[in-house]
Amino acid sequence: MGMFKKALLAGAVLLMAAGSTLAADVKIGFIVKQPEEPWFQDEWKFADVAAKEKGFTLVKIGAEDGEKVQSAIDNLGAQGAQGFIICTPDVKLGPGIVAKAAANDLKVMTVDDRLVNADGSPIEDVPHMGISATKIGEAVGQTLVDEIKKRGWDMKDVGAIRVSYDQLPTAVDRVDGALSVLKAAGFPEANIFDAPQAKTDTEAALNAATVVLNKNAAIKHWVAVGLNDEAVLGAVRASETVGIPADSMIGVGIGGADSAINEFKKPTPTGFFGTVIISPKRHGYETALNMYEWVANEKEPEKLILTAGQLALRDNYEAVRKDLGIE
Ligand code: FCA
């Protein structure tokens, strides 16, 4: 090879190196607020698939509070990571997370729960993938209305438990979406009871729903809504504890991970009637891939992606999961 050709080749190699980072040098964090929740386990699982496929390193970190979030980000910076995806334990940590990421020279995008500014408005600069919360809530509400009618219940004899976590905007959109459909179908507003949960898990929802049921012992039939399957399962468990028969409770959750599936697998139906399955594959695999493309090829992710859900009941959940590629 002549000198000229050699020089050209060397130049080309240099150019390639400047334009992209080698996959093996890419390290991406995936921080979640509730690592024990099946939804987040599934997100991690699918993010791992992306890491394997592309050959980058994925660092999975659980961070249940603000302090843990701060140290997780510092830790990623110290490890030489280039970016991270986060589902924050508190959306109000938004400005702090953005600042911490910048201080550590890390790219950041959010999943599930969108960061907010001090005034409560979403931080639009940070790329986000969430669910279409209102629409999915409406699907929950429609399922409840259809089932109430099918069972021949008079709406005025039915109570609705609104398991609530109102500091989280997506949670408000989900439950209010569901209740708007109930109300439009004639469900009396006075029969809707707030059950504020201290945390977004089943135990907290059970405690909150028990208070509502004990206070309203005269009501015979119940429906339950909440931000996720865990919330609705808490209400269902509460109804069992106070002795409401399974066929007098209709709970419809959101999620479709193991918490819901295990319920469908029980030999006798419980009050957990259905769930709107959302896609941990999109939220885990796609966000990890988007972050990788951003780090390795400077391809910035879309600022806002909202994913859809699909209703599943006891008798068709396997088919729905298959359809979504998450069996
Ligand atoms: C929130 C909820 C999770 C899941 C996710 C998509 O983070 O807490 O359970 O529903 O949105």
Predicted TM-score of the model (pTM): 0.93
User: Which of 33, 170, 225, 258 has most ligand 1 atoms within 8 Å of its beta carbon, as the pocket-test mutant?
Assistant: 170
CA 138 to chain centre: 17
Closest Cα to atom 3 of ligand 1: 228
Residue closest to 162 by CA, chosen among 131, 187, 130, 129: 187
Which tokens go with 60? 């999975």
Q: What's the CA-to-centroid distance between 244 and ligand 1, angstroms?
A: 28
Closest Cα to atom 7 of ligand 1: 112
> Using CA atoms, how far apart are residues 90 and 252, in angstroms rounded to an integer?
25
Which tokens go with 288? 């990890």
Alpha-carbon distance values, 205 to 212, 225, 231 (Å): 11, 11, 5
Index of the ligand 1 atom closest to the CA of residue 283? 6
Dihedral, CA of residue 170, residue 176, residue 182 and residue 186, to nearest 10 = -170
Write out the chain's pLDDT in tens, 327 residues.
555 555 545 544 544 555 578 888 999 999 999 999 999 999 999 999 999 999 999 999 999 999 999 999 999 999 999 999 999 999 999 999 999 999 999 999 999 999 999 999 999 999 999 999 999 999 999 999 999 999 999 999 999 999 999 999 999 999 999 999 999 999 999 999 999 999 999 999 999 999 999 999 999 999 999 999 999 999 999 999 999 999 999 999 999 999 999 999 999 999 999 999 999 999 999 999 999 999 999 999 999 999 999 999 999 999 999 998 887
- For the chain, how far is it from start to end, CA to CA, in angstroms? 55
Which tokens go with 59? 């660092």
DSSP H helix total and E strand total for the chain: 12, 12
Closest Cα to atom 5 of ligand 1: 112
Closest Cα to atom 6 of ligand 1: 112
Q: Is the CB of residue 209 less than 8 Å from the CB of residue 249?
A: no
Bridge partners (DSSP) listed for residue 122: 116
Backbone φ, ψ for residue 305 (5° rounding): -125, 125
Q: How many residues does the chain have?
A: 327
